[in-house]
Amino acid sequence: MSRVLRLLAACAALWLLALPALAQDLVVYHVDDAEAQATKALRNIRNHLDVAPATKIVVVTHANGVDFLMEGARDRRNPDLEYAPLVSALKARGVRFEVCEITLRNRGLRKDQFSMDADFTPSGVVRIGQLQSRERYAYIKP
C-alpha cells in the first residue's frame, strides 16, 4: 500500500511541477497587411511582453504582411522607423516571426530578401489554424 501512495505522491508532484508550463500564455499574432498592421503589431507585442513576459508569441505573416520582415523595411508613414531593430529586440525576447512560403512563391520573393530574424512556414493560414486548434494559441489580429 505504501508503494501505491508513493507512486501517487510522485505523480502529484510531477503534475504540480508541470502546472507553470501549462499555465503559460500562448499567443499568435496574425499580420497580413504590413502597411496597416506592422507598427501596431510590434508595439502591441512589446507591450504584451512588458506586462506578461512569460508569454510565448508567434507572429505569422502572409500576403502583404510579410513586407515588414524584408531587409531594409521601414514604416511608410514614418520612414525614420526601421522595422529590423524592433523585430530583433522582440526576437531576443523569444518572439518567433514566421513568413508564409506560399506568399513567397506567389509574389516571386526569395528567402534571402528577409531579415535573419524571420523563419518560414509552408502556409501562414495553415500555421495559424494549427497553432489555434492543436497548440491552444490565442489569436490576435492587430
93 to each of 42, 60, 70, 100, 125, how far by Cα in Å? Answer: 12, 17, 20, 22, 24
Structure pTM? 0.84
Neighbouring C-beta atoms of residue 110, cutoff 10 Å: 7
Distance, in Å, from the CA atom of 80 to the CA atom of 72, rounded to the nearest integer, reads: 11
Let me know if 31 is exposed, middle or buried by CB neighbors in 10 A (0-12, 13-18, 19+). buried
Q: Per-residue DSSP letters for 22-36?
A: HH--EEEEEEEEHHH
- pLDDT (tens, 9 = 90+) of the chain, 142 residues, equals 567 666 656 656 556 665 555 569 999 999 999 999 999 999 999 999 999 999 999 999 999 999 999 999 999 999 899 999 999 999 999 999 999 999 999 999 999 999 999 999 999 999 999 999 999 999 999 9
Place of cell 505569422: 60
How confident is the model at residue 16, as a pLDDT? Answer: 60
135 to each of 62, 79, 95, how far by Cα in Å? Answer: 20, 37, 16
How confident is the model at residue 45, as a pLDDT? Answer: 98
